[in-house]
């Protein structure tokens, strides 16, 4: 193997695949990155066995030569050292050559590194995936969907399936649901060219967070292909594979109340800042619980109280309060997560009494629903 490549392009491709490489990898070969070069270009692969990322740098792009391949081949190089070396090379011209079986030379300017590689045949094969269950979503929309739901997954392994986001394709719609059994986020997205079959998969939250870091904020379509054990996201020259979580995702539709007793319309950003202040004194002793009270007029009172430190009370103006008076307590963190997901718009919060879950939505848009279970304090 011997080729020349522009350092900036190699850095870009490497920084994507590095997101799949874990510093705690237990399988030795997965501490490495696989390089394969031929006349087409360079493929880089990184994996932690849950996530596999494969990027491609073409030999030529828009008439510009990016890679000059003198001799094709493949090698696995220690991810940590290889990426740091490339980042610090003195010039933009990089030559990589494998000689004497696994001896790898990285040359740039007057600098020459010799790394001991591993045999590329020992690197795991890419996950197999059938190409039949396929649809596409614009990249920026996919990022929004991930951001609006993934924060609500469970961080506890007691019910592993809840550490993932449930993706269901049905009737031309993608429904994404995440819950840790204290709060829930549900996002519905109408699909263009939706597949006719019904799909139901659970994607690990961690995979979606890593995918989100790689996706560009552009309208270019991201291809999504599902199999029984894997999902593949294809964005430009990047392939992102994730294993799926096994087990049945619970039916969450029963959680969402069908009747409401109090509707409050309020500016999301104002409420977020107020909850943030109230949570300052609620963090340690009181498990981050704040109180929320609507008793006549157009204002709600947010408060919290920590006997050791002090208390805080605040009035927040609303656009309208309809229905019964209300006293309810909830986790400030869950409320802030939900308000951040909806983003600073005017929102409506619908309550069904102080001991029942309540939901938050944008007043303009019905696609995203956030649900929170209250905490008993009154």
Which listed range, 51-59, 149-157, 268-276, 342-350, lies at the site for a second copy (CB under 8 A)? 268-276
90 near a second copy, rule: CB under 8 A: yes
Cα 275-276-282 angle, rounded to 5 deg: 85
- What minimum distance in Å lies between the beta carbon of 288 and a second copy? 14
Residues numbered 49 to 88 that lie near a second copy (CB under 8 A) are 78, 81, 84-85, 88
For a second copy, which is the closer residue by CB, 207 or 279? Answer: 279
What would the x/- binding string for a second copy be over residues 284 to 323, using CB under 8 A?
Answer: ------------------------xxxxxxxxx-------
- What minimum distance in Å lies between the beta carbon of 120 and a second copy? 17
For a second copy, which is the closer residue by CB, 32 or 374? Answer: 32
Per the DSSP assignment, residues forming a β-bridge with 32 are 78
The residue behind tokens 């929170």 is 372
Which listed range, 240-248, 277-285, 286-294, 367-375, lies at the site for a second copy (CB under 8 A)? 277-285
Q: Is 323 exposed, middle or buried (0-12, 13-18, 19+ CB in 10 A)?
A: middle
- What minimum distance in Å lies between the beta carbon of 204 and a second copy? 31
- What minimum distance in Å lies between the beta carbon of 319 and a second copy? 16
For a second copy, which is the closer residue by CB, 244 or 282? Answer: 282
For a second copy, which is the closer residue by CB, 153 or 336? Answer: 336
Residues numbered 315 to 374 that lie near a second copy (CB under 8 A) are 315-316
Size of the site for a second copy (CB under 8 A): 30
For a second copy, which is the closer residue by CB, 89 or 208? Answer: 89
Residues that bind a second copy (CB under 8 A): 78, 81, 84-85, 88-90, 104, 110-116, 273-274, 276-277, 280-281, 308-316
């Amino acid at each position: 193997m011997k080729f020349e490549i522009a350092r900036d392009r190699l850095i870009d491709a490497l920084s994507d695949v590095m997101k799949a490489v874990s510093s705690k990898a237990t399988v030795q070969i997965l501490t490495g990155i696989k390089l394969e070069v031929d006349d087409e270009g360079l493929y880089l692969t990184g994996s932690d066995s849950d996530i596999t990322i494969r990027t491609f740098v073409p030999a030529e792009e828009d008439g510009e030569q990016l890679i000059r391949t003198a001799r094709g081949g493949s090698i696995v190089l220690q991810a940590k050292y290889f990426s740091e070396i490339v980042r610090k090379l003195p010039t933009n011209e990089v030559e990589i050559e494998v000689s004497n079986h696994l001896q790898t030379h990285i040359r740039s300017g007057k600098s020459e590194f010799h790394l001991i590689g591993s045999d590329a045949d020992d690197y795991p094969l890419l996950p197999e995936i059938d190409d039949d269950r396929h649809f596409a979503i614009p990249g920026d929309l996919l990022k929004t969907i991930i951001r609006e739901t993934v924060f609500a997954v469970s961080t506890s392994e007691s019910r592993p399936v809840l550490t993932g986001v449930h993706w269901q394709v049905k009737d031309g719609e993608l429904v994404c649901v995440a819950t840790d059994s204290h709060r829930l986020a549900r996002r519905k997205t109408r699909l263009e060219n939706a597949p006719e079959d019904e799909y139901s998969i659970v994607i690990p939250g961690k995979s979606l967070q890593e995918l989100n870091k790689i996706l560009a904020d552009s309208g270019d379509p991201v291809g999504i292909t599902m199999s029984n054990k894997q999902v593949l996201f294809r964005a430009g020259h990047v392939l992102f594979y994730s294993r799926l979580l096994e087990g049945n995702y619970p039916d969450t539709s029963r959680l969402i109340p069908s009747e409401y007793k109090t509707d409050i319309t309020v500016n999301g950003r104002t409420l977020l800042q107020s909850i943030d202040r109230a949570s300052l004194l609620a963090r340690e002793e009181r498990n981050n619980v704040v109180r929320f009270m609507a008793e006549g007029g157009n204002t709600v009172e947010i408060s919290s109280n920590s006997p050791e430190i002090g208390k805080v009370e605040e009035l927040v103006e609303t656009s309208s309060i309809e229905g019964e008076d209300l006293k309810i307590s909830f986790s400030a963190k869950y409320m802030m997560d939900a308000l951040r997901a909806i983003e600073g718009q005017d929102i409506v919060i619908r309550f069904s009494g102080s001991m029942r879950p309540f939901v938050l939505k944008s007043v303009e848009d019905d696609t995203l629903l956030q649900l929170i279970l209250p905490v008993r304090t009154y």
